[in-house]
Amino acid sequence: MSEPSLEIIDLSFAYPDGRQALRNVDLHVHHGERVALLGPNGAGKTTLLLHLNGILRPASGEVRVAGLVVSDDSVLEIRRRVGLVFQDPDDQLFMPTVGQDVAFGPANFGLDGEELEARVAEALGAVSMLGARERAPHHLSYGERRRVAIATVLAVRPEILVLDEPTSNLDPASRRELIDVLRRLPITQLVVTHDLPFALELCPRAVVLDEGLVVAGDTTVEILTDELLMKAHRLELPYRFDPREQASS
Amino acid sequence: MLYRHGTTPVHQLPAQVKVVALLVFVLAVVVLPPEAFWAYFLAGCLLVGVMILAELPAGFVARRLLVEVPILIFALMLPFFGRGETTEVLGLTLSVEGLWGAWTIMAKATLGLGASIIVSATTTVPDLLRGLDRIRVPRVITAIAGFMVRYLDIVAGEFSRRRLAMVARGYEPRWFWQSGPLAQSAGSLFIRSFERGERVHQAMVARGFAGRMPVFGDRPATTREWWIGLAVPLVAVLLALLSVTVLG
Ligand SMILES: Nc1ncnc2c1ncn2[C@@H]1O[C@H](COP(=O)(O)OP(=O)(O)OP(=O)(O)O)[C@@H](O)[C@H]1O
Ligand SMILES: [Mg+2]
């Protein structure tokens, strides 16, 4: 069997103020798989994501990316393998131009010259934003900034793409474009979202986190149709939304 | 913003050339002796020539010159408060020293500002930062300047939303001393900006940032571009030398 893209083994974590944010979390994501991470506000989703590239370190347990354990020695290589897209694109885009922002990651990992140029073009192309290369990030629309933020991590050619609430604040058309972009990308994806129809459309599998515990893991349709589970963990579908109908269409 | 899009030769000069040219020009203007009216006039003509070349409309430049108004007011007060020898103009007793002071401040400020307007109107901020980088301005300074420009809009936007939220709840600051609540909210704005700084730093670290900003391949300016760019300030230097020797 091939190495899983992401392996989280018995991970626990508490913030310095004593708040236990993660408890004994286990999660496996296979190569090329797209998994949705669901859960109410404060469940610990963002906290979990920050462990994936070593910004936070587990109190106990282990995180492996393509077989490599997150540790002080491996952290730079881990950051190359894990492309983390933050919730607010304004936190992610900090260079004066889009092109430079996309180049920031690969340049840190030692690319330069024509290779770097090509990498930037490839990443912007993947999110259909090639035309914005010389523009200033703060002049782009919110949806465009979101896509550029994704390009900034794609440029590093990560093993796994990790997105924190990628559809928040997007209008329906930008949301649709984002879904198309993400579905086209042939890499492993872990997506935190409150947008359940989005999760259903993008991710065949879903995991539910609540109060730092993994409380369910199944196909996304199964989870969204389990009314008891949904109620217990404050998950709600849009009015009259039928996951089965949606999934079969 | 200050930048005005265009494709004129002035726009196309590399930023570092323009920055150096601006510095040299300003230095030349600073050393012009007050009595050399002709030199000021010629330097002004040079600037107007470059403005025409850069296709900058007179109104655009005039509006940006408005920031000079406080300086002008200050300069105009000098003749009234200067000491020493006095002279009568239209029935007013004015200090001769003060008159000279007012004239040089006005002339030099206008020329210096005019030149800065040309450079900022023909150079985008990213280019300007890259140009500064090229002429060895420390990376930390250009990086900070870059962040400031990048996040100014966001902080300003947050501030105006904050104000709007207050106004919507009946707060209507008419006078300066009523701005207390807004000023207090600036405190929380600072905290918010600080927290954003932390998140931005996380995002940088996540993409492999280890304390050094990468440089991105930009081309150096050619000798020809240096000559073209420095032509104008060199004429100004010549004017300065001439006027100093003629009058001195
Ligand atoms: N820096 C911090 N210090 C202390 N506690 C924190 C910190 N960041 C988050 N927490 C707490 O940890 C818990 C998990 O937070 P986290 O941000 O991971 O939730 P989340 O699932 O991402 O929620 P949301 O859906 O609202 O984004 C919350 O109870 C939160 O209050
Ligand atoms: Mg979160």
Tell me the percentage of chain B whose pLDDT exceeds 70.
86
Q: Which residue owns the Cα nearest ligand 1 atom 16?
A: A44
| Dist. CA A214–CA A216, nearest whole Å | 6
Q: What is the mean pLDDT of residues A192-219?
A: 95
pLDDT at B74: 82
Q: To the nearest whole number, what is the mean pLDDT of chain A? A: 92
CB contact under 8 A, B126 and A136: yes
Structural domain for B13, as ranges = 9-132+219-247
**Does residue B223 share a domain with residue B121?**
yes
CB contact under 8 A, B204 and A50: no
Reply yes or no on whether the pLDDT at A232 is more than 80: yes
**Does residue B158 share a domain with residue B57?**
no
pLDDT at A2: 67
**Does residue B232 share a domain with residue B196?**
no
pLDDT at B201: 82
**Does residue B117 share a domain with residue B229?**
yes
The CA distances from residue A114 to A148, B213, B218, in Å, are: 20, 19, 12
- The ipTM, to two decimals, is 0.74
Gap from CA of A193 to ligand 2 centroid (Å): 9
Q: What is the mean pLDDT of residues B208-228?
A: 79
pLDDT at B78: 81
- Relative to the alpha carbon of A211, which ligand is closest? 1
Among the listed residues A142, A138, A91, the one whose alpha carbon sits nearest the alpha carbon of residue B197 = A91
pLDDT at B182: 65
> Which chain A residues are closer than 8 Å to B214 by Cβ?
103-104, 107-108
DSSP state of B55: T
Q: What is the mean pLDDT of residues A139-143?
A: 89
Chain-centroid distance of CA A169 in Å reads 16
Strands (E) across chain A are located at 6-14, 20-29, 34-38, 60-65, 68-69, 82-85, 160-164, 188-192, 205-210, 213-219
Tokens of B168: 């919507």
pLDDT tens-digit series, residues B44-72: 999 999 999 999 999 999 888 888 888 88
Q: Which residue owns the Cα nearest ligand 1 atom 12?
A: A21
pLDDT tens-digit series, residues A61-89: 999 999 999 998 998 899 999 999 988 89
pLDDT at B172: 65
Tokens of A57: 């370190």
pTM across the whole model: 0.72
pLDDT at B179: 64
| Dist. CA B117–CA B51, nearest whole Å | 9
**Does residue B160 share a domain with residue B59?**
no
Tokens of A227: 């009314």
For CA atoms B166, B170, B176, B181, give the dihedral sign.
negative
pLDDT tens-digit series, residues B162-202: 777 766 676 666 655 566 666 666 677 777 777 777 788 88
Give the residue with greater pLDDT, B3 vs A157. A157
Q: How many residues does chain A have?
A: 249
Q: Ligand 1 pocket test: which of A13, A38, A45 has the largest number of ligand atoms within 8 Å of its C-beta?
A: A45
Chain-centroid distance of CA B27 in Å reads 15
Q: Ligand 1 pocket test: which of A19, A55, A214, A236 has the largest number of ligand atoms within 8 Å of its C-beta?
A: A19
Superfamily of domain A6-95+159-248: P-loop containing nucleotide triphosphate hydrolases (3.40.50.300)
Residues with CB under 5 A from ligand 2 (ion): A 46
